[in-house]
Amino acid sequence: MIWFPYTQMKTMKEPLTVVDAKGVYLYTEDNHKLIDTTASWWSKIHGYNNPHMNKAIIDQVNKFSHVMLGGIKHKPVMELSKKLESMLPGTLNNTFFSDSGSVAVEIAIKMAIQFFINKKKPRNKIMSLKNSYHGDTFKAMEIGDDGDYHNIFSGGQNTVLTDTTIEDLEINFKNHGDSLAAFIVEPLLQGAGGMKVYDVSFLKRARELCDEYEVIFIYDEIATGFGRTGNRFVSDLVEPDIVCLGKALTGGYLGHAVTVANDKVFEGFYGDDQDLAFMHGPTFMANALTCAAALKSIELFEQNDYLGKIKNIQTIAKRELSDLCDDRIADIRILGGMFCIEVKEEDTLKGFSEFAYEKEVYSRPFLKYLYATPPYIITEDELVHIINVYKEWFSKK
């Protein structure tokens, strides 16, 4: 039996069976052709069955699919490391590979804590945002604040939470700054915490405070990286010390992630003493297939004006949602390649997935949030159709 994620198996509805996928569409066993509004949890930025992505992976598998990175390297990982170094700002030059976003976050936290141990000035506290989500592994859950997913694991005694006001941020740094190893954020856009959006001025002030208190500033750009906020990376606006990338890194084809540290962090591990070394090594880190997929995905992103496509998604969403007004709606948020309708009561969205399915749209709202993070290749007609389904839902009830 398949044990499905984020659901009570006893009461779960029968999942859809997908038999094919192409572009923005999922084709089901019962002959539905559905626009995928989630891009498979934000990752399928090029859509499904992209021929260029397919070829890159096939070409690599015909050479070899995987060799361990321990004591061995290969062309795809060398090229990907160089490419990321050239794309990321400042001295974000040191790329540590892993196989999922949660693990990339674990690695970042481990780096930050060991950085201070190596300096013989141990710090053990981590600050994160209220309503934050950083993955489902243990430390990622502990530093998060998402009670809907991790209520029995989050909020450890060494976790400090701040909201996204500069006033609260400054108070928390004043109270805890000297004991903080790191401050981790989902920059500009908090995903699973409710598609919450905040201003770049918060990140600018956080950067100043991290410098003042010598705290490692970490960006979890697993979801926001590669354009989702309308920026290539939020790191381009305000530079962190460590950035985690995943999801769209491989165009959603294969699980892969990276934790990229700046030179200051890297140098804290560099020396003749083996005890300074970073002792971590996922089996499938820098897998050759995933590196080949990532290289091709980045190439497509850069050559096909994806930032222009994302801007167009935002423009269309703002236009089409401008006249949606309903007493049950608490807020409508639009940022880059994401738009979200937050309702006041969860029951307002009860049955929406089934309604959308009949209208040839795949949607997976959660709690009070009806959202879309579509593939960037989506057309205007397809976007308008999605939003019209939203509007019809509110008009019929």
Q: What domains, with CATH codes, occur in the chain?
A: 18-49+305-396 (3.90.1150.10), 53-303 (3.40.640.10)
Which segments of the chain have a pLDDT < 70? 147-156, 397
Check residue 36 and give its pLDDT: 98
Active site amino acids: 6, 133, 220, 247
Check residue 150 and give its pLDDT: 58
Helix, strand or coil, per DSSP, at residue 142:
helix
Q: Contact 342/328 with Cβ under 8 angstroms?
A: no
Half-sphere exposure of 73 (CA within 13 A, CB side): 7
Pairing of strands 25-28, 18-22: antiparallel
- The helix (run of H) or strand (run of E) holding residue 109 is helix 101-118
Check residue 145 and give its pLDDT: 87
- The helix (run of H) or strand (run of E) holding residue 290 is helix 288-303
Predicted TM-score (pTM) of this structure: 0.96
pLDDT in tens, 29-40: 999 999 999 999
Q: Count other Cβ atoms within 10 Å, centred on residue 311.
A: 15
pLDDT in tens, 129-184: 999 999 989 999 899 887 665 566 656 679 999 999 999 999 999 999 999 999 99
Our CA angle for 116, 159, 170, nearest 5°, is 85
Check residue 107 and give its pLDDT: 98
**Taking the chain, what is the end-to-end CA distance rounded to the nearest angstrom?**
37
Check residue 396 and give its pLDDT: 81
DSSP summary character for residue 247 = G
The whole-angstrom distance between residue 274's C-alpha and the CA centroid of its chain comes to: 33
Spatial distance between the Cα atoms of 52 and 295, rounded to a whole number of angstroms:
11
Residue the block writes with tokens 């049955």: 351
Check residue 8 and give its pLDDT: 92
Torsion of CA 280, 283, 286, 289, to 10 degrees: -170
- The helix (run of H) or strand (run of E) holding residue 2 is none
Q: Contact 297/43 with Cβ under 8 angstroms?
A: no
